[in-house]
Chain A
Amino acid sequence: MSNDEFQPRSAVKFSGTYSPGNTKRDLRAAPLERISRTRVGIKRKQRTGSGKTRAWLIIALTSPLVFSAIKSVLNGNAFAAMGNLGLFAMFCFAAFTIRSGIDAAMEYEAHDFALAPKFPRKIIGAALTGAGLLLTCWTGWGIGLLQSAGFGIMGFASALFAFGPDPLKDKGSTTSTGITPDMVISAITEAEEKIGGIEAAGASLQDRPLRDRINRITKRARDILSRIEDDPSDLRRSRKFLVVYLDGALEATQKYVKSQNDLSGEKDIYIKFRSMLDDMEREFDDQHDKLLKNDRIELDVEIDVLADRLKTASRL
Chain B
Amino acid sequence: MGHSTTRMLAFIALGVLLTVTSCATFLSATPTDSTNKVLFLNE
Contact = CB atoms under 8 A, between A and B. Distances in A.
A144 B29 CA distance: 16
Interface residues of A, number: 38
A68 B27 CA distance: 8
B42 interface: no
Interface string B6-43: 11011101110111011111101111011001000000
A222 B13 CA distance: 41
Contacts of B14: 58, 129, 155, 158-159, 162
A67 B33 contact: no
Contact of A61 (B22, B29, B30, B34): B22
Contacts of A80: 29-30, 33
B17 A133 contact: yes
Given A68-B29, A151-B17, A162-B11, A75 B37 contact: yes
Given A76-B37, A77-B33, A54 B11 contact: yes
A161 B6 contact: yes
Interface in A48-70: 54, 57-58, 61-65, 67-68
18 contacts: A62-B18, A62-B22, A65-B22, A71-B26, A72-B30, A75-B29, A75-B30, A75-B34, A84-B29, A136-B22, A140-B21, A151-B17, A157-B10, A159-B10, A159-B14, A161-B6, A161-B9, A162-B14
Given A154-B13, A158-B10, 18 more contacts: A57-B15, A58-B14, A62-B18, A63-B22, A64-B19, A68-B22, A72-B33, A75-B33, A76-B33, A76-B37, A84-B29, A87-B25, A137-B21, A140-B29, A142-B28, A155-B18, A161-B9, A162-B11
